[in-house]
């Protein structure tokens, strides 16, 4: 491979939703774009429930018609189920937002991620699967100027570009290599999940609802209806609570099912058809979202507890917005970290809003119903957060929430790592 063969405008490490969205946008801008993905798609991934505002990045990259024509389950609402099994009034998105985006989807990530990656290819990006990035390469000023990768067969490859995007998901290559992963200690939970076939689904509009069903100590189940009569069901709680008398996933899962009659009765008519999956290490944010020649997107930058299904939205959104910033940086011939200041402020403000809501959700004394009863005027703000309209001022909402619970201070990190030259001239 000679120099011109391996020279790109931008290299994207990771072809999940964040990377594939960024790749499509950059290819649509006419940029020579390379995606390096370590797996062969389709591959399994957790994270099936979308927020309504996913619509907008998907529309930008031309995927709405394809997704509408797919067998993904239509999601119109979210509902909550108390510990005794009492179901709340469903929160229908269309009652708050008169737009086609008010209907969203429960997706099979194997198919959804493949659709996104193929779309990036169709738009003109070069995608190399089964090619794992081993390290980024820097010049003598410290700018990232490319990557070293290895194929499944052990072939070592080098690629160059003035800007690299890290979209490696929770592997978070840059955070891991630089010690930049800062955990959100109070949101340290465990998730344990599996899949059932034939479990009970509500008919009609509610068939595709996401249900959040409570168990003791503010733990909760997700219940997500998927295509092919499959339901994804998982439990999230504190480690000490879940592991209190056994570490066996089957025993824990079956024990917790019995903690919520709604979950128990629905699963009873179905059959478990997959193994149990477990993950911890919840909720972190990178010390920085960019360095010279490098920008981080999706879970490679930050990850939040999945209770409000914000992960896919933040991945798609950050992929799109960072790609526009990369395009502008390429136009300007300036690849410094400072180019990503606006991107970082936007992402941090949205993540902070969602993070406060998640803290409130887990507070033993907090209840969204009481909040809205006392302050009906903030219902719209709350709705916007749940839809994914995150990037605006929520002072009124969080002043009200702050009367009920102690909210976390904003985290100080996540901004670009500015070089000395930039810091002194800014």
Ligand X SMILES: Cc1cc2nc3c(=O)[nH]c(=O)nc-3n(C[C@H](O)[C@H](O)[C@H](O)COP(=O)(O)OP(=O)(O)OC[C@H]3O[C@@H](n4cnc5c(N)ncnc54)[C@H](O)[C@@H]3O)c2cc1C
Binding mask 263-282 for ligand X (x = CB under 6 A): ----------------x---
Rounded to whole angstroms, what are the CA distances from 94 to 90, 139, 205, 239? Answer: 11, 51, 11, 37
Adjacent-strand bridge partners of 275: none
Per-residue binder mask for ligand X (CB under 6 A), 34-73, x = binder = --xxxx-----xxxxxx-----------------------
Q: How far apart are CA 412 and CA 398, in angstroms?
A: 18
Query: How many C-alpha atoms does 211 have within 13 Å on its Cβ side?
Result: 28
| CA atoms of 3 and 310, how far apart (whole Å) | 40
Q: Cβ of residue 395: shortest distance to ligand X, in angstroms? A: 26
256 binds ligand X (CB under 6 A): no
Q: Which one of 12, 18, 326, 382 is in contact with ligand X (CB under 6 A)? A: 18
Among 62-70, 93-101, 299-307, 347-355, which window interacts with ligand X (CB under 6 A)? 299-307
| Interaction mask 119-138, ligand X, x per CB under 6 A | -------------xx-----
Q: Which of 146, 162, 169, 416 binds ligand X (CB under 6 A)?
A: 169
Per CB under 6 A, 283 contacts ligand X: no
Task: Name the minimum Å distance from CB 23 to ligand X.
Answer: 11
Residues 6+ apart with CB under 8 A from 4: none
- Other Cβ atoms less than 10 A from the Cβ of 81: the count is 21
One of 286, 298, 350, 388 touching ligand X (CB under 6 A): 298
- Residue 277 vs 404, nearer CB to ligand X: 277
Residue 231's contacts (CB-CB under 8 Å, 6 or more residues apart) are: 195, 196, 197, 199, 201, 223, 224, 225, 266, 267, 270
Nearer residue to ligand X within complex by CB, 145 or 338: 145
Shortest Å distance, C-beta 21 to ligand X? 8
Compute the distance between CA of residue 376 and CA of residue 23 in angstroms, rounded to an integer. Answer: 42
In sequence order, what DSSP letters do the residues of 42-88 get, joined into one string? S---S--BPPGGGHHHHHHTT-HHHHHTS-PEEE-EEEEE-TTSPBP
Q: Under the rule (CB under 6 A), what is the footprint of ligand X?
A: 13-19, 36-39, 45-50, 132-133, 167-171, 173, 191, 279, 298-300, 306, 309, 311-313, 315
């Amino acid at each position: 491979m000679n120099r011109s063969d391996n020279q790109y405008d931008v290299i994207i490490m990771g072809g999940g939703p964040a990377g594939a969205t960024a790749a499509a946008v950059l290819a649509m801008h006419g940029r020579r774009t390379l995606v390096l993905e370590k797996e062969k798609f389709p591959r399994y991934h957790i994270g099936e429930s979308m927020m309504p505002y996913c619509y907008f990045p998907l529309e930008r990259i031309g995927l709405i018609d394809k997704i509408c024509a797919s067998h993904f389950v239509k999601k119109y609402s979210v509902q909550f189920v108390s510990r005794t099994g009492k179901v709340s009034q469903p929160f229908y998105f269309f009652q708050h937002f008169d737009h086609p985006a008010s209907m969203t989807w429960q997706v099979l990530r194997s198919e959804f991620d493949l659709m996104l990656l193929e779309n990036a290819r169709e738009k003109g990006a070069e995608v190399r699967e089964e090619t794992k990035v081993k390290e980024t390469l820097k010049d003598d000023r410290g700018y990232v100027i490319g990557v070293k990768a290895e194929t499944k067969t052990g072939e070592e490859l080098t690629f160059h570009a003035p800007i690299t995007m890290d979209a490696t998901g929770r592997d978070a290559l840059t955070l891991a290599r630089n010690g930049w992963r800062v955990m959100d200690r109070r949101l340290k939970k465990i998730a344990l999940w599996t899949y059932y076939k034939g479990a009970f689904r509500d008919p009609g509009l509610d068939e595709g609802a996401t249900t959040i069903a409570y168990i003791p100590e503010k733990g909760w189940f997700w219940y997500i209806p998927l295509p092919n009569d499959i339901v994804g069901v998982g439990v999230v709680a504190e480690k000490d609570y879940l592991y209190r008398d056994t570490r066996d996933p089957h025993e824990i899962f079956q024990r917790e099912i019995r903690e919520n009659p709604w979950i128990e009765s629905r699963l009873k008519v179905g059959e478990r058809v997959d193994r149990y999956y477990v993950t911890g290490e919840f909720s972190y944010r990178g010390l920085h979202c960019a360095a010279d020649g490098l920008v981080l997107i999706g879970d490679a930058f930050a990850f939040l507890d999945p209770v409000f299904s914000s992960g896919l939205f933040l991945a798609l959104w950050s992929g799109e917005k960072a790609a526009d910033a990369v395009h502008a940086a390429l136009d300007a011939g300036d690849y410094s970290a400072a180019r990503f200041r606006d991107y970082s402020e936007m992402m941090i403000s949205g993540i902070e809003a969602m993070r406060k809501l998640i803290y409130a959700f887990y507070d033993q004394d907090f209840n969204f119903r009481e909040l809205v009863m006392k302050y009906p005027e903030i219902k719209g703000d709350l709705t916007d957060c749940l839809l994914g309209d995150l990037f605006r001022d929520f002072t009124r909402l969080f002043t009200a929430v702050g009367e009920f619970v102690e909210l976390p201070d904003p985290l100080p990190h996540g901004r670009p790592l500015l070089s000395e030259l930039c810091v002194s001239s800014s």
